[in-house]
Amino acid sequence: MTTRRQFLGATALTLGAAATRVRAATARLDLAATDVHVRGYPTVEALRWIGEQLEKETDGRLGVRLYHSGQLGRESDLIDLARFGAIDIARVNMAALNNPFPATRVLCLPYVFDDTAHMRRALDGAVGQDILGRFADRDLVGLAFYDSGARCVYNTKRPIVTPDDLHGLKIRVPPSDIFMHLIRTLGANPTPLPYGEVYSALQTHLIDGAENNWQSFHTTRQFEAARYWSYSGHSYSPEALLLSRRRFDALRPDDRERLLDIAKRSVAYMRSLWDESERTAREYVLARGVQANAVDRAAFERAAAPVVAHYRKDAEVDRYWRAIRDLSGAA
Ligand code: GTR
């Protein structure tokens, strides 16, 4: 029997082979880029923008072929496909990277960032640049970080004000030990599922809730089933834009520099879309009857503290954690 992973690998290789044939005929190279989000989502639009810039700056020699909406599979598989060179660019969330790339763990820890401004400062500074460089350890080039907003819990049953309200609820988490650990510590039952399966899991009551940002809640239409949104803001787990090392090495040196530079510039473009899309998504779901409530933030932070303490036992996590906390409230 063909496993899902083999199938995805074969599909991507076939796509790669077809793209190579086209390239040979036209001398044009389209980088295969993937994202689990739908067209219009800020990360997908940023990839599209990168393609446009590449095309413009290379007189059409280079471009991007975009596979959005999870067309090529789940994020954990996409990371491997990029590592093996079957796809070129993978836009994935840090949560999917925690296990294979431990340097990313600090970015998912509960309440390590106060808000989006704090997260951007840390990612633009030494900590972010250091972590981005660590993707080279396993066949990838870290191109950029993108925003993912504040992750909050939502569910089909009731408003969550303190962690006690989570008791007994089955909450979907992304495939990351940190998220499993956090949700369990807060008192719920964590259920790891790929992003593309959350909507139907809510519909069929396989799970009672999940946690994510406003845009994901909106664009996946999970809000149709989960009618209670609680502002826990427990993680800002940012997005990563990763390039296959094999592809990078195969590019002309000037194209490598060009791509790195365009990816860097795409961050400002992505951020300009982010804030507006967050507001639009929130207004959209609230207008359709979702009930949103504030949580007892101090109670959440207290309950999550053992998770932070556990990961800070690791010297590298602790070093990054301190450096990020030092930027809290800085101008
Ligand atoms: C979203 C993120 C996706 C995916 C998803 C998830 O916020 O943008 O890349 O990781 O969360 O929870 O699986």
Render pLDDT for 77-123 as a digit per residue (tens, 0 to 9): 999 999 999 999 999 999 999 999 999 999 999 999 999 999 999 99
Ligand 1: does its nearest atom lie under 6 Å from the Cβ of 278? no
How far is ligand 1, taken at its centre, from the CA of residue 93, in Å?
6
Q: Which of 43, 69, 99, 148 to mutate to test the pocket of ligand 1 (most atoms within 8 A of CB)?
A: 148
Closest ligand 1 atom to the C-alpha of 149? 7
CA gap 129, 126 in Å, rounded: 5
C-alpha of residue 148 to centroid of ligand 1, in Å = 8
* 105 C-alpha to ligand 1 centroid (Å): 15
Give the dihedral sign, CA 129/130/134/136. positive
* Ligand 1 nearest atom to the CA of residue 237, by list position: 7
| Full pLDDT tens readout for the chain, 331 residues | 445 555 455 555 555 544 444 454 558 999 999 999 999 999 999 999 999 999 999 999 999 999 999 999 999 999 999 999 999 999 999 999 999 999 999 999 999 999 999 999 999 999 999 999 999 999 999 999 999 999 999 999 999 999 999 999 999 999 999 999 999 999 999 999 999 999 999 999 999 999 999 999 999 999 999 999 999 999 999 999 999 999 999 999 999 999 999 999 999 999 999 999 999 999 999 999 999 999 999 999 999 999 999 999 999 999 999 999 999 986 5
Cα(195) to ligand 1 centroid in Å equals 6
CB 207 within 8 A of CB 131: no
List all residues 6 or more positions away from 8 whose beta carbon is below 8 Å from its beta carbon.
72, 73, 77, 81
Main-chain phi, psi angles of 293, to 5 degrees = -140, 155
Contact status, residue 195 vs residue 71, Cβ threshold 8 Å: no
Report whether residue 75 contacts ligand 1, using a CB cutoff of 6 Å: yes
Tokens 């076939």 sit at which residue?
A: 14
Is the Cβ atom of 67 under 6 angstroms away from ligand 1? no
